Amino acid sequence: MNNKCELIYEGKAKKVFSHEDVDKVIIEFKDDATAFNSLKKARFEGKGKLNCQISAKIFELLINRNIPTHFLELKNENTMIAKKIRVIPLEIVLRNIAYGSLCKQTTFKLGTTLAKPLIDIYLKNDELNDPLITKDRIELLNIVSAKDLDSIIDLTLEINRILQKFFKNIKLQLVDFKLEFGYDLKNNILLGDEISPDNCRLWDLNQKNDTIVSLDKDRFRNDLGGLIEAYSEINRRINDFI
Ligand code: UDP
C-alpha cells in the first residue's frame, strides 16, 4: 500500500485505507476467517484474493442491473477501490432456504425451501453479539428512517432475484446471504461490504442425489475442509460464465 494511504478501519476480513480522492477508499481483502462472533479463527492463504475477485464480478453484475453499489474498480488481486460510504450498522440477511441460525431459533427444518424470501435484520454490534432487530427498534434507535429501511429491503429483494438467477446458471443454489448498506456523500443508499462465499451460502447443484455440498464459509464453520478449493471453484464458474 503506498504511504499516502492511511488505515482507516480494520475489520475481521478486510482493511479499509484512505484514497487520495476523499470520496473513495481502498479495501484490502484479508486471508483471515472468523466464525461464531470470532470465537473461531483461522487463516486461509489466498482467500482474500478469491473473495476480492468474486465480489468485484458480482458488483459489476449488479451495477449492470442498476443496483447502486460502492464498487468502482479492482486495484490489484486482493484490493478494490470503492466509494466512501457511511456504513449503516445493520446486517440484512435474506434467506431462500432455511439453514444456519434460522433452524436453531425456529422450528424450520434444515434445508426447507421457504414459501417466500425471508429477510432477517441484525444490529451490527459485536458486544451485543449482533442481535436480531425489529423495524420499530431500528426506527426508534434512529439507525435509518422507515422510508430508507423500505428502500433497503426492496434493494435486497431485487439483488436476490438477480443473484438467484445468476448462480443457478452456474449450477449453484443461493441459500442465503448477508448484505450491508451505507450512505454516500450525497446521502444515496449504496450496497457496500462484499458479496462472496464468506457471506453467502452456496450449494453445488451438480450433485446427483440430494446431498448438500457447501461451497462457502460453512466449510470452515463446520470443519468440512477444502475451503480454498470451494472458493476457487466458485471463482472458476463465474469466470467461465461471464
Ligand atoms: N452471515 C454473515 N455474517 C454474519 C452472520 C451471517 O455474513 O455475521 C451470513 C452467513 O454467511 C449466511 C447468512 O448470513 O450466508 C445467514 O447466516 P445465519 O444467520 O444462518 O448465521 P450462522 O449460521 O452463520 O450462525
CA 178 to ligand 1 center in whole angstroms: 6
What is residue 161's predicted lDDT score, i.e. its pLDDT? 98
Write out the residue limits of the CATH 3.30.200.20 domain(s) in the chain.
7-83
The protein residue whose alpha carbon is closest to atom 19 in ligand 1 is 101
What is residue 1's predicted lDDT score, i.e. its pLDDT? 59
Q: Is the pTM of this model over 0.85?
A: yes
What is residue 210's predicted lDDT score, i.e. its pLDDT? 85
Write out the residue limits of the CATH 3.30.470.20 domain(s) in the chain.
87-226
What is residue 125's predicted lDDT score, i.e. its pLDDT? 96
Ligand 1 contact via 214 beta carbon (within 6 Å):
no
What is residue 3's predicted lDDT score, i.e. its pLDDT? 56
CA 77 to ligand 1 center in whole angstroms: 25
What is residue 2's predicted lDDT score, i.e. its pLDDT? 58
Query: What is the CATH number that goes with domain 7-83?
Result: 3.30.200.20
Architecture in CATH of 87-226: 2-Layer Sandwich (3.30)
What is residue 179's predicted lDDT score, i.e. its pLDDT? 98
What is residue 37's predicted lDDT score, i.e. its pLDDT? 85
Record the cell numbers describing residue 234, joined without a space.
466458485
Which residue ranges of the chain lie beneath pLDDT 70?
1-4
What's the pLDDT tens digit per position in 26-70? 999 999 999 998 899 999 999 999 999 999 999 999 999 999 999
The protein residue whose alpha carbon is closest to atom 10 in ligand 1 is 199
Residues 6+ apart with CB under 8 A from 161: none
